[in-house]
Amino acid sequence: MSRSPATVLLAVGGGIAAYKSAVICSRLVQQQYEVRVVMTRSAEQFVGSATFAALSGQPVGTESAPTDRYPTGAHIELAKDLDLMVVAPATANLIGKFANGIADDLASTIYLQRSCPVLLAPAMSASMWSKSAVQRNCKQLEEDGCDFVGPEEGWLSCRATGAGRMSEPDSIVERVFALLR
Ligand SMILES: Cc1cc2nc3c(=O)[nH]c(=O)nc-3n(C[C@H](O)[C@H](O)[C@H](O)COP(=O)(O)O)c2cc1C
């Protein structure tokens, strides 16, 4: 059986931009990538997991607890043989947890478990993005070896313009291709 060109884990955080991550998933699948999707509990309030399950052709991971499919825990099985972990949208909460080694859900536990590179696409309001705590956490993640794409300046869902808009799916996918090349 031939292996896909790459295996990407797409972690979807709980922000309005979660709907754009469906496009990222689809674009990567169209390139024959294996895409494993993990959604935070908060992300499920923004987009249904059925969308990502259909697009990726795989069940969506939401919990770490052992199941028949993942007897040793989803964080172990899903983190195996990854070429890249993409976090989009990367919420302030996920960024904070990653930067501080907190592993209290599936996405943050996979972040600690994996050994592949990580690409983060932050998305939040301009006020959140400007906070020193968020900037400090991003700096820490850069020092830890993570890559970032965006955020951009532009229209935000809080009906304001500023920095914090998630990069467009095509830009994120281009960065994925560049990192995997
Ligand atoms: C309508 C709405 C939009 C939100 N958008 C964002 C966002 O774009 N970025 C962000 O960091 N948090 C956003 N939040 C807050 C997160 O949903 C909240 O911090 C949540 O705990 C994040 O969980 P997660 O990081 O596990 O996905 C939003 C909340 C609501 C109710």
CA of 105 to the centre of ligand 1 (A): 15
* Residue nearest atom 14 of ligand 1, based on CA coordinates: 15
Q: What local confidence, expressed as pLDDT, does residue 44 receive?
A: 98
* Residue nearest atom 9 of ligand 1, based on CA coordinates: 124
Q: What local confidence, expressed as pLDDT, does residue 1 receive?
A: 44
Say whether 138 is catalytic: no
Q: What local confidence, expressed as pLDDT, does residue 3 receive?
A: 61
What letter would DSSP give residue 61?
B
Q: Block means of pLDDT (10 residues each) for the chain, length 181 residues?
A: 80 97 98 97 97 97 88 93 98 98 97 98 97 98 98 87 94 97 89
CA of 45 to the centre of ligand 1 (A): 10
Distances (CA, A) of 87 to 59, 66, 93: 18, 23, 12
- What tens digit of pLDDT does each residue of 60-80 get? 999 988 888 888 889 999 999
CATH number of 7-180: 3.40.50.1950
Taking the model in full, what pTM does it have? 0.96
Domain ranges of the chain: 7-180
Q: Is 42 in the pocket of ligand 1 (CB under 6 A)?
A: yes
Q: What local confidence, expressed as pLDDT, does residue 64 receive?
A: 86
- Choose which residue among 91, 165, 167 to substitute to test ligand 1 binding: the one with the highest number of ligand atoms within 8 A of its C-beta: 91
Which amino acid makes up residue 95? I
Q: What's the N-to-C CA distance of the chain in angstroms?
A: 22
* Residue nearest atom 11 of ligand 1, based on CA coordinates: 91
